Amino acid sequence: MTSHIKMIPELSKESVSMRDPQRVEETLNSMRQAGPNTLQVISDFDMTLTRFAHNGKRCPTCHNILDNSKLISEECKAKLKDLLNTYYPIEIDSSRSVDEKLPLMVEWWTKAHDLLVQQQIRKDRLAIVVEESDAMLRDGYRQFFDHLRDQDVPLLIFSAGIGDVLEEVIRQAGVFHPNIKVFSNYMDFDESGVLRAFKGELIHIYNKREGALLNTGHFQELRARHNVLLLGDSLGDLTMADGVQNLENILKIGYLNDKVEERKQSYLNTYDIVLVKDETLDVPNAILSYITGSQ
Ligand SMILES: Nc1ccn([C@@H]2O[C@H](COP(=O)(O)O)[C@@H](O)[C@H]2O)c(=O)n1
């Protein structure tokens, strides 16, 4: 193993796999030399910044936080559960192509959002359902968020979840710092605070590239930050940095949470560092400390 990688003991964790450690070393070296002023972090949210499981039990996504809450009728809960049981296996099915999955993912998100809109969800109840949920950020989250704030490194959270719920999760954890920007599906409430639709273009798991290209203003503001640390948990997350201007170095870290054997090769082919069933932010934190010269 090479020297820079040795400097980051977390990369020797059992959960870590790398297709090309040499490339990881070279990228880390360039990013460290360029320093924190040239860095931006782009991260997915559900199952990337949040835990996939805790004590053997699945943790909820933003959608699941609402789906399982007291804001949803029993009948609607059953329908949302049916949708999850139908479409989640498709999302993680490595035998189907993205082209085949894409329309089915649009179908899932659209049907789920239509059901949520029928539930007359009140904006002022979101905080309480997040509080009562089992949502959990990954271990080491405080170090992750606080370090990026302290180093003035912008964090873009790019999520196909629900922006209002996501924001509430990080707000309640006390880490919704001013360096954070969120691209996600936001709820549209009427004047009495009742959900009536979702705003803007739908973001689902396979159209993050289009979402990135719609937000050129954000990437224009960050044009001097040509080094990117990208964190994701699906192959769709790999396109989250497609709007970055003057990209020089990108290091992609992928969490492989589910169907590990079937999917490991495709993750190794596309992510620089693959974290298998790792519920922590230890590796991203160690890499950030290294790049920003804080270790
Ligand atoms: N009705 C739905 C639709 C999607 N999901 C899950 O949300 C995840 C997307 O969010 P990211 O932050 O990872 O972009 C995705 O992995 C779906 O499994 C859901 O739970 N319910």
197-213 pLDDT, tens digit each: 999 999 999 999 998 88
User: Is the predicted pLDDT of residue 229 greater than 70, yes or no?
Assistant: yes
What the block records as the tokens of 94 is 């490595």
Give the residues across from 162 on adjacent strands: 185
Centroid of chain to Cα 230: 9
Q: Kindly indicate the confidence band of residue 6, based on its pLDDT and cuts at 50, 70 and 90.
A: confident
Mean pLDDT value across residues 17-41: 97
Model pLDDT for residues 80-106, shown as the tens digit of each residue: 999 999 999 999 999 999 999 999 999
What pLDDT shows up at residue 248?
97
CA triple 244-110-277, angle to 5 deg: 60
**How far, in Å, is the centroid of ligand 1 from the Cα of 281?**
20
What pLDDT shows up at residue 24?
96
User: Is the predicted pLDDT of residue 170 greater than 90, yes or no?
Assistant: yes
CATH superfamily placement of domain 60-131: Pyrimidine 5'-nucleotidase (UMPH-1), N-terminal domain (1.10.150.340)
Q: Kindly indicate the confidence band of residue 3, based on its pLDDT and cuts at 50, 70 and 90.
A: low
CB 196 within 8 A of CB 188: yes
Name the residue ranges covered by the structural domains of the chain: 3-50+136-291, 60-131
To the nearest whole percent, how much of the chain has pLDDT over 70?
98
Mean pLDDT value across residues 224-233: 98
Between CA 185 and CA 199 the distance in angstroms is: 7
> Which position has the token pair 């289009």?
210
Instruction: Provide the pairing of β-strand 187-189 with 180-185.
Output: unpaired
Ligand 1, residues 205, 209, 237: which to mutate, most atoms within 8 A of Cβ? 205
CATH architecture of the domain with residue range 3-50+136-291: 3-Layer(aba) Sandwich (3.40)
- Pocket-forming residues, ligand 1, beta carbon under 6 Å: 44-47, 61, 63-64, 84, 88, 91, 108-109, 112, 159-161, 205
User: Is the predicted pLDDT of residue 144 greater than 80, yes or no?
Assistant: yes
User: Is the predicted pLDDT of residue 4 greater than 80, yes or no?
Assistant: no
Measuring CA to CA, which residue among 260, 285, 277 is closest to residue 16? Answer: 277
Q: How many CA atoms lie within 13 A of 213 on its CB side?
A: 5
Instruction: Provide the pairing of β-strand 57-58 with 53-54.
Output: antiparallel
Mean pLDDT value across residues 69-81: 98
Give me the interface pTM, i.e. the ipTM.
0.98
Measuring CA to CA, which residue among 157, 170, 215 is closest to residue 41? Answer: 157
**How far, in Å, is the centroid of ligand 1 from the Cα of 202?**
12
Model pLDDT for residues 248-272, shown as the tens digit of each residue: 999 999 999 999 999 999 999 999 9
Provide the Cα torsion 122, 125, 127, 129; round to 10°.
Answer: -110
User: Is the predicted pLDDT of residue 75 greater than 90, yes or no?
Assistant: yes
Maximum C-alpha span of the chain: 60
Instruction: Provide the pairing of β-strand 155-162 with 39-43.
Output: parallel
What pLDDT shows up at residue 1?
47
Residue nearest to atom 19 of ligand 1 (CA): 63
Tell me the chain's radius of gyration from C-alpha atoms: 19
User: Is the predicted pLDDT of residue 78 greater than 70, yes or no?
Assistant: yes
> Average pLDDT over the chain, rounded to whole?
96
